[in-house]
DNA sequence: CCAACATATGAACAGATGTTCATGCTATTC
DNA sequence: GAATAGCATGAACATCTGTTCATATGTTGG
């Protein structure tokens, strides 16, 4: 798999609204699965499914703490990409 | 449509390998549809279909010049996002 | 105007993707 | 150690998406 496909894979993961909300929910601080489900309004099962994909692509990292598992955005690249396109989206809204 | 869905829409567009190659092909300088097709190895028809989506989302801008139409990445946000995740992908490869 | 060239569009199809429902697994508390 | 809380997993399904093939649209040169 070449770089382009790796990149595309990451973008595709961020390209689903539910998954994007999950990512944004744990952008700044680790959040438990339950908290993410509550924050995003998605079912626990769905959140878990998505987290698995995000974890497999190393976009988030999860650590177990007693019964709960806390997930957080993997690194600064991910955070930067999200913040960057957030600005772009904001500008799009303003100009249309 | 809220910001998250706008963002997700853009990410989804970048999340297809063919479309990502098209975007990368016209990242730095405007390229004709034919040139993009040649550079990416995709058919003219397919490239045109994808360019329509990218144009609709304002990720690229196209200007007609005689018989050809030249497309280029819309702005610096788009370029930054792509370059940023390229670095991320490169690091991923190195560390696995 | 006609022929050619470059790009755009439409229909149709196979394969991928997000979601739900039900169930399994791990860790804790009593 | 049974019961419960929190999370993960599997199957199944409807929908969406990328691609191809054929054809239309627009543009330039003779």
| Residues A53-66 pLDDT 10s | 999 999 999 999 99
> CB-CB: which of A11, A21, A84 is closest to B80?
A84
For B3-95, CATH gives 1.10.10.10
Domain residue spans in chain B? 3-95
What is the tens place of the pLDDT at every residue in B21-38?
A: 999 999 999 999 999 999
Report the pLDDT value the prediction gives residue B86, as an integer from 0 to 100: 85
From the CA of A79, how many Å to the nearest CA of chain B? Answer: 10
CB B40 within 8 A of CB B22: yes
Determine whether the distance from the CB of B12 to the nearest atom of strand D is below 7 Å.
yes
Task: Please count the other Cβ atoms lying within 10 Å of the Cβ belonging to residue B2.
Answer: 10
Tell me what the mean pLDDT of segment A24-42 comes to.
Answer: 97
């Amino acid at each position: 798999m070449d770089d382009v496909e790796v990149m595309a894979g990451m973008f595709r993961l961020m390209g689903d609204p539910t998954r994007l909300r999950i990512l944004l929910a744990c952008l700044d601080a680790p959040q438990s699965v339950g908290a993410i489900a509550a924050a995003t309004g998605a079912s626990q099962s769905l959140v878990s499914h998505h987290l698995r994909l995000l974890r497999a692509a190393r976009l988030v990292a999860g650590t177990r703490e007693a019964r709960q598992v806390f997930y957080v955005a993997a690194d600064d690249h991910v955070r930067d990409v999200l913040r960057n396109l957030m600005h772009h989206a904001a500008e799009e809204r303003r100009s249309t």
